[in-house]
Chain A
Amino acid sequence: MMEGISLRRMQVNQTGTVVSVRARGELGRRIRDMGLVPGKDIRIQGRAPLKDPVSLRIMGGTLTLRNNEADYIFVEVH
């Protein structure tokens, strides 16, 4: 299985494909409900002025998540 890098480490405007979501329980569920599942393409849209949270584009919508939540998401950068 491909490892990829954690979403936290991605730069603004970088694109990539989600390879795995390691979160469980409520956080895992929320992340998946919003469409962050393996195989989906994302692009880092921007970061809040204090670098956290991060906003990203996925399936035509914009999502935000905190860095400590982004840690659970692994992405293969294009």
Chain B
Amino acid sequence: MAITIALAGNPNSGKTTLFNALTGARQHVGNYPGVTVEKKQGTCTAENQIFDIVDLPGTYSLSAYSMEEVVARDFIVNEKPAMIVNIVDGSNLERNLYLTLQFMEMGANVCIALNMMDVAGKRGVTIDVEKLSLLLGLPVVPMVARTGKGRAQLLKTVADHVVSRPAPLKISYGRDIDDTLDEMEERIRSDQFLTDPYPSRWVALKYLENDAQILEAGKAHLAGTHEWLSAKALKLSHHLETTLDTHPEGMIADQRYGFITSILKQGVISHTLDPNRLAWSDKIDKILTHRFLGPLIMIGVLMGLYQFTFAYSEVPVGWCENFFTWLGDRTDTLFADGLFKSLVISGIIDGVGGVLGFVPLILFMFLGISFLEDSGYLARMAFMLDRVFRMFGLHGASVMAFIVSGGIAGGCAVPGVMATRTLKSPKERLATLLTVPFMNCGAKLPVYALLVAAFFTDYRAQVMLIITLISWVGALLVAKLLRSTVIKGPATPFVMELPPYRLPTFKGLAIHTWERTWQYIRKAGTVILGISIVLWAMMTFPQLDTRTVSNENTVGMHTPGAETMDPGAAALRHSIAGRMGMAMESVTRYAGFDWQTNIALLGGFAAKEVVVSTLGTAYSLGEVDPEDSMSLAQRLKTAEGWGPVTAFSLILFTIFYSPCFVAVVCIARESGSWKWGMFSMAFNTLLALSLSIVFYQTATWMMS
């Protein structure tokens, strides 16, 4: 029988590193507080026993305020692991023990893995491990999870202690609280109130702490006892407020820290260096977060990240593209012309290939981000930019997602949406992932390039700058709008830890990068394959047979140019997508878009790259290489209804309309609900349409 062991501890204390060292599993490790959100499981055999090891999310406390805390607490209460291995950051002992005490108060069987002993040593901190163990009454094993030092000793200690069942720790919270706790505990015991999973004193404490989760469970269990306990808690709260100007919650926390201090004071910790001396990490901070140098360096770092990603991924992206072109060509010669071939080439290879073609780019992007994250710099970026982003209801840490999505022009919203994972505050995170698609991803650039080349030849750079500014202003304003309507709520407290700078390990970077890239690849095989087939079908069916062509030509559709259309364009117009494009013309013409543009925009939902090539087909040019769109630009210049106003209206629409479906899938996944995926499609498209119509109408009115 496997024995369940839970790894728990403060964020960034090395739980995942230890988990990987124990199980050999490859979990994501990062130097940014709160990287693990779900719990992860693995097994490990040692001392002739099989251990089921669960990596819990990092928490500072066991109140039920955040998702992480609820996940960790529920696991301990419901799954009752045989032992909790509490990873404690030895270089930050005092704060870390705060959580340890709370495990002990729950009556859990705890063993301390005293991690980061190397860091503690460098800071001149010596810890008397035996004394700590004696005073706390727990086994304590010093270790360095990063190198695996202490691993064997830890496993041995765990094996030796799994059968222990310690009594819940009783801390004195001062006369007033203790008396009330005793009374409450008595009633809880006699009523057997919630005592099935929880220890009685702990339930009483949670009533004093106003713990929402326990109060709710209590109300459902025995309403009478619940009322009585709540009244007791309220009375104590009033009493403390009038006599001591404090409240139970605050007092309980103070006493817990007091308890820790009293233990550490008994010679557990000794400093060989002045504890107030600036560690080298602080010295780096003096420069990297300096008033003037800080922002400059940050811009440099972001540019560097951008350069690194796009410059180095260019070659492998080319290989990927060549591979899929080759695959397409092979298929072309292998099968006879017909629907099946069209499905395989245009539906499957082009669709999935378009997504997989991004893999090298995503890999480099994540490698860069992982480096910033693991080194600790990302937390500093959040620190420096928080003031700006907070004005729009976002969080300092949102910046990374915006940059990755194309904030400087030419990123990709897919890794951008995934980069929001480093954001801990749920509301700010949702607002971020819904607004990053407004950035100018690499696939929108060819559209701008085409239109700018055709209509704004003399102002290329200025127009590109305006486009970038519009997308930022738009994204921030929409974030503000969302945060004051659908995702309303006060800002999540910023109280955050700045982890010390650490040199990322190669293993950590590799795991981190690969894990994220793999998630992206996996998606290409499933949802994206399905959607590309659907889009292909929409642009292919119903098919045009020769009779209908002549028929339509004789009947004479009122669409200008229908008579001169080439077969490709005619077939496209006849398809579902074509019909939709024409049907939409009744609305989109207010924004200046004809049906050809509509089809191209519909295609852009598959991938924004498709806009240019579809425009080419719809304007009867056959295949258009997005890199070489000069001929199409010439054609548009002379086309009826086209001019700078139409072009800019289309640019506006392209900035804001629905994210491509890969991004929509990611938004749905990352927000945990398809509701938000659908929302971003509908909301963004409506927003884009309104902006384009307003612009087009105003501009044409002013010019007339």
Contact = CB atoms under 8 A, between A and B. Distances in A.
A14 B258 CA distance: 24
Interface in A42-64: 43, 45-46, 48-53, 55, 57-64
A1 B245 contact: yes
Interface in B255-295: 257-258, 261, 275-276, 282, 285-286, 289-292, 294-295
B383 interface: yes
Contact of A33 (B60, B292, B384, B386): B60
A9 interface: no
Contacts of B98: 33, 35
A49 B291 CA distance: 4
B95 A61 contact: yes
B321 interface: no
Interface stretch (B300-308, B479-487, B495-503): B495-503
A31 B495 CA distance: 7
B335 interface: no
B257 A35 contact: yes
B596 interface: no
B291 to A, nearest CB: 5
Contacts of B276: 43
Contacts of B282: 45, 57, 62
B533 to A, nearest CB: 47
A76 B340 CA distance: 78
B227 to A, nearest CB: 22
Interface residues of B, number: 48
Contacts of B94: 35, 59-60
A58 B290 CA distance: 20
Given A30-B65, A62-B497, A63-B497, A52 B386 contact: yes
A36 B247 CA distance: 16
Nearest to B209: A29
Nearest to B379: A64
Contacts of A63: 495-498
Interface in B383-414: 383-388, 390, 396
Contacts of A26: 65, 493
Contact of A65 (B245, B387, B494): B494
Contact of A49 (B254, B294, B390, B494): B294
A63 B285 CA distance: 13
Interface in B158-196: none
A48 B289 contact: yes
16 contacts: A21-B250, A26-B493, A27-B495, A34-B495, A37-B253, A37-B254, A45-B285, A49-B290, A49-B294, A57-B282, A59-B92, A60-B125, A61-B95, A62-B500, A65-B494, A65-B495
Given A37-B257, A49-B295, 18 more contacts: A26-B65, A26-B493, A27-B493, A27-B495, A31-B493, A37-B250, A39-B254, A45-B282, A46-B285, A49-B384, A52-B387, A53-B396, A62-B500, A63-B495, A64-B383, A65-B494, A66-B386, A69-B495
